[in-house]
Amino acid sequence: MKTKNILVLCTGNSCRSQIAEGWLKNYSGGNANIYSAGIETHGVNPKAVMIMKEAGIDISGHTSNHINEYKEIEFDYIITVCDHAKENCPYFPSHAIRLHQNFSDPAKAKGSEEEILNEFRRVREEIRMYSEKFVKENIKIQ
C-alpha cells in the first residue's frame, strides 16, 4: 500500500500549517508523509514552536517552505488551514483530495503576552482535534 502524501497549506507557513504538520506527524506515526508550505514564507513563528513544545511535540527543526518547492510531489491530500491560502493559492496541478478548515491566525492576537500565548494554545487545540480526526478517517495506521 502506497504511503499517503499530505500537504498542509497556509499563507506564510509560520504558525497554523506548522502546528498542523506537527500534529499530523504525531498522529500518523510515520504512516504518511506530511509536508507544510505557504503561498509566501514568513519563517517558523517562535511562539508556535513554544506552545507545541508544551504539548510534547518538537517543531523547532521545521522550515518555512514555499508551495513551489513541492510541485514534483503527487499529493493525496491538500489541506488549506486559512481562507487566504484557499482563495489565493496558485494553480497547483494535483489529483489530491482538497480539504479546507479555516483556523484563526494566532500571530494576529492582541493583548498581553499571556493573552497572546493563550490564543496560540486555543488554536493549537483546535488544530490538534482536526488533525486527530483527519488521521483516524484518512490514514491507515499499521
- Is-catalytic flag, 82? yes
Helix (H, G, I), strand (E, B) or coil at 32: strand
Which helix H or strand E contains 51, and what residues bound it?
A: helix 46-54
Which helix H or strand E contains 38, and what residues bound it?
A: strand 32-38
Catalytic residue among 6, 7, 8, 10: 10
**Cα dist. 70→8, 57, 64 in Å?**
11, 24, 12
Catalytic residue among 8, 59, 81, 82: 82
- Is-catalytic flag, 15? no
* Rg (the chain; Cα; Å): 14
Catalytic residue among 26, 40, 42, 89: 89
Backbone angles phi, psi at 48, to 5 degrees: -65, -45
Distance CA 20, CA 81 (A): 8
Active-site residues: which are they?
A: 10, 82, 89
